[in-house]
Amino acid sequence: MRADFELTKVLVTVKTYPNPSDKHDETVCTAAVTESGDWLRIYPVPYRYLPVEKQYKKWQWMEIGLARRGYQNDPRPESREPEVNSIRLIGEPLPRSNAWETRRLIIDKMPHRTLTELMRQWVANRTSLGIIRPAEVLDLEVTEGEKKWAPKHEARMAQPLLFGKRKPLHRIPFRFHYVFRCLDQKEPHRLLLEDWELGALFLRERESKGENAAVQSVKQKFLDDLCGPDKDTRFFVGTRHPLNQWLVIGLFYPPKKPASGLPLFS
């Protein structure tokens, strides 16, 4: 590992859907939490081309060599360039048993903000990762997106790799935006959702049921289920460089706890 990289233990909380890259064929952006509860953005990671023993899962601890800076000209304070060959997975992903208590012990201690507060923090100190607990999730809007990647990326993906077999990378032909309210604003916010699990669900459902049914499956899962009235839903959010547009990059959706002082069963 290079001298300017530091071995760091992190808990993976987010993996975004893979995107083509001019230099790396394809990359995934990973968000993770340190043992001290700080956010880190780990990029670039050619996740699908990593050896199996280095393919980390969400809610799994790992050690990884990280530079004290972002990749290339990324100035965001949480961003770190990784040395992917240094990845060492630690144990199994944290379980969801016991009402997600193991995961809650970590996430509940971290600052929760409204989108307006995060925007102010961006102006003040370039904060670019955070947690929002929406007061109300109103909709998951669906709009048509591009069917194919940019021509330069399509051409690159058509070329054979020097080593191994290239894996198909399908573009999701729709864009999914959460419409939600925060406690400090009457007007709703609208943020694009870029969770890998959304893309994987869409592709799986499209293959077996068709495109329209796939869209409905995504809405049922990511709106009715993950943001249902029985969930204490949080959005993991981050900015896209260099536009600094806020996105929903992952979700945390434990069951709601019973109201204090009330019996669990009546």
Mean pLDDT by 10 residues, the chain (266 residues): 89 96 89 97 96 98 95 92 97 92 96 98 96 98 95 88 86 98 96 97 98 98 98 98 91 88 47
Task: Provide the strand spans (E) within the chain.
Answer: 5-15, 19-21, 25-34, 39-45, 61-67, 79-80, 82-90, 129-132, 136-144, 174-181, 189-192, 234-240, 245-252
Extents of the domains making up the chain: 5-90, 111-252
pLDDT digits (tens, 9 = 90+) for 231-262: 999 999 999 987 789 999 999 999 998 776 45
d(CA 130, CA 124): 15
Amino acid 38: pLDDT? 97
Amino acid 266: pLDDT? 39
The residue whose two tokens read 């955070």 is 130
d(CA 239, CA 127): 9
d(CA 245, CA 238): 8
DSSP letter at 22?
A: T
Two domains, one topology: 5-90 and 111-252 = yes
Amino acid 260: pLDDT? 60
111-252: CATH topology: OB fold (Dihydrolipoamide Acetyltransferase, E2P) (2.40.50)
Q: Which two tokens stand for residue 20?
A: 């083509």
In CATH, what number does 5-90 get?
2.40.50.140
User: The pTM is what?
Assistant: 0.93
